[in-house]
Amino acid sequence: MLESAERYTGYTAYEYLEAGVDYRAFEYAKQIGRVPAYAGLELTASQAERAERLLREETVISLHEHVQVFPENMDHLRDHIRQGREPTGYAGLARSGLTAVFDNGMDGTCCISSDAGWKYQDVLFDLGVRMADLAHQDFVIKGESLKDIKYAKDTGRIAHIFALEAATMIENEVDRLDVLYGFGVRQMGIAYSEANTLGSGLKERGDGGLTYFGERAVARMNKLGIAIDISHSGDRTCVDVIKASTKPVFITHAGARTVWPTNRMKTDETIVECANRGGVIGIEAAPHTTLSPAHPRHSLESVMDHFVYCVDLVGIEHVSFGPDTLFGDHVGLHHAFAAQLSLGQAHGQVEFDEVPYVDGVENPAEAMGNIIGWLVKHDYSDDEIRAVVGGNTMRVLEEVWV
């Protein structure tokens, strides 16, 4: 059994409050068993034992997740988000095998006070409420340093690292980066699809690159020790950020545009530039992103086609995983927030068959376990698996974090 599953005592989010009195209660999606377990691996007994051992013994890090639980009925989504009390999926995380997880909060749906999202006050409220809940239990700890990740591993806990997919909420106030760092943010994107004061997002018709203010923000992130993410930035902005940063940067959740030609995927140039400066790409698995010609119906196999391509392109030491999963109906979330998430512009004219969920990487409880199983089945060595499920990320964090 995973040590984290043994340590978890059954705490549920905000149980120190009274549902219906202190906050509005919703019926939430199942964290385990919402969809059928993945049946595509078909491991032998020895392979299954090896995969379980690796998940149990290694430092396993997801570069990008949303570990909140969403309402069972997605018609309640807006009301749920407006009250600003996102519940962490503790029970699912206890089954995940994760040592550390970069949790990107409400991402493009941070709409407590405005449907446009990304308001500074909303982001601070979200961070503060989530931290208050974390403080009332002792299984998922607030991760702010390499020592926290190592402590989580040594004690069977999970280090929860706050991240934001864009810096849009800082507007033109560079000192807000210091405030967000003080709240625990240790990873941040530049732009989320839409352009902002730092640079261009991937949905824009034109990409003006990193702005002068963006250069100031990158320099401040380097000084603070905030890891930089360029997953949603435009092509020119991505390369500008890589060159402007004195530290390696992450592409926390994406795939290769050569494999699947949408703006949401990264060009070979961006992936290579990122690797040449010591960075890492985390392979994405959110619905209808990392498809492939060989596996156009999105599943674990599609995701791993991008993994194989990126390993061949830049070497295994520059590839990791940021599955970008959550607890609940991810496709339903995309439908509800298509405009905020810029899905039309991200996918462009590329046609695909919609799936109700991504088989094999549907939620944080199963994603990394199935990925490790796939790697074992395809004869990757222990050292190679150790690198891509956590070692590569730790190497970058050792250089970036202070």
Q: Taking the CB of residue 132, how many other CB atoms lie within 10 A of it? A: 13
Give the burial class of 294: count Cβ atoms within 10 A of its Cβ; 0-12 exposed, 13-18 middle, 19 or more buried: exposed
Tokens of 319: 């590839």
Q: Give the alpha-carbon dihedral of 111, 115, 121, 123, to 10 degrees.
A: 40
Q: How far apart are CA 195 and CA 201, in angstroms?
A: 5
For residue range 70-101, what is the model confidence (pLDDT) as tens digits?
Answer: 999 999 998 999 999 999 999 999 999 999 99
Residue 339: the pLDDT is 55
For residue range 29-72, what is the model confidence (pLDDT) as tens digits?
Answer: 999 999 999 999 999 999 999 999 999 999 999 999 999 999 99
Say what the pTM is.
Answer: 0.95
User: Backbone dihedral region of 319: left (phi > 0), alpha (psi from -120 to 50 degrees) or beta?
Assistant: beta
290 with 350: CB under 8 angstroms? no
Mean pLDDT for all residues in the chain: 94
> What is the fold of 3-28+46-400?
TIM Barrel (3.20.20)
Closest CA relative to residue 326, chosen from 67, 95, 103: 67
189 with 230: CB under 8 angstroms? yes
Sequence-separated (6 or more) residues with CB below 8 Å from residue 35: 356, 357, 359, 362
Beta bridge partners of 321: 283
Question: For 225-366, where are the alpha helices, taking DSSP H only?
Answer: 235-244, 268-276, 300-314, 330-336, 343-347
Task: Return the beta strands (E) in 57-192 as ranges.
Answer: 61-65, 100-103, 140-142, 158-164, 185-189
193 with 345: CB under 8 angstroms? yes
Residue 136: the pLDDT is 97
Cα 217 to chain centroid, rounded: 21
Q: Taking the CB of residue 198, how many other CB atoms lie within 10 A of it? A: 29
Tokens of 66: 């949303």
Q: Which residue ranges in the chain fall short of pLDDT 50? A: 342
3-state secondary structure of 273: helix
In eight-state DSSP terms, residue 391 is I
Q: How far apart are CA 203 and CA 236, in angstroms?
A: 12
Domain spans in the chain, listed from the N-terminal domain onward: 3-28+46-400
Residue 3: the pLDDT is 65
Helix axes 268-276, 235-244, angle to 10 degrees: 10
